[in-house]
Amino acid sequence: MFIQHKQLKKLNIPAEKVEHLHSVSSSVQLAFAGYPPQLCRAYLLKISGGDKVLIVVAFYLAESQCSIFFVPKFGELPAEDADPVYEEGYSFVESMGFVLTETDYHLLSRSQKQAYWIALPICQPAKKKEPEESATTIKANEELKKLRLQSRKSLGRFFASM
């Protein structure tokens, strides 16, 4: 079972620690708590740390320009126990409508891995978005307030005439 790791905002690890990487070939529309529905990309990673391995499922939200990460409920595990959990992560991602594909990341040279890794959006800090309330939105809200007031006055006159 995978749970959301809310403190993790980007993967800030060396490229050579990533043993295996699957990604999706196309985005899928998803809605995560706290975010509007939007196109997302998914990644499945096996990250090595000595004799321990961490399986990570990462989603990159295109509109919000941020990442959401899921890890196994029990966290890191011994390397010899990683394959079944990786398969579970694979199933988790595909159950959301994604089709994962092999990236052959593990076959790349050290310099190719580094270039590939730093280009991934899940390795980038979340981009800060400007507040969504633009001048157009503010004007529309003012117009809506005026219409509500006018409607109340009309309704009051209507009831008074009855």
Percent of the chain with pLDDT strictly greater than 90: 51
Per-residue confidence (pLDDT) for residue 131, from 0 to 100: 40
End-to-end CA distance of the chain: 64
| Coil vs helix vs strand at 12 | coil
Residues 110 and 134 in one domain: no
* Mean pLDDT calculated for residue range 126-155: 62
Residues 94 and 136 in one domain: no
Residues 37 and 101 in one domain: yes
How many domains does one find in the chain?
2
Confidence of residue 8 (pLDDT cuts 50, 70, 90): confident
Summary mean pLDDT of the chain: 84
Tell me how far apart the 2 most distant CA atoms of the chain are, in Å.
84
pLDDT in tens, 98-138: 999 999 998 899 999 999 999 999 998 887 553 445 566 67
Q: Which domain does 141 fall in, by range?
A: 130-162
d(CA 16, CA 110): 7
Q: Is the dihedral of CA 27, 49, 86, 56 positive or negative?
A: negative
Task: Judge residue 24's burial from the number of C-beta atoms within 10 Å of its C-beta, 0-12 exposed, 13-18 middle, 19 or more buried.
Answer: buried
Residues 77 and 156 in one domain: no
Per-residue confidence (pLDDT) for residue 125, from 0 to 100: 84
Residues 12 and 86 in one domain: yes
Asked whether the predicted pLDDT for residue 97 surpasses 60, the reply is yes
Residues 107 and 36 in one domain: yes
Residues 119 and 146 in one domain: no
pLDDT in tens, 43-65: 999 999 888 999 999 999 999 99
Residues 84 and 28 in one domain: yes
Per-residue confidence (pLDDT) for residue 88, from 0 to 100: 93
* Mean pLDDT calculated for residue range 8-34: 91
Percent of the chain with pLDDT strictly greater than 70: 80
3-7, 25-29, 67-71, 138-142: least confident range: 138-142
Residues 85 and 144 in one domain: no
Residues 12 and 78 in one domain: yes
d(CA 56, CA 153): 58
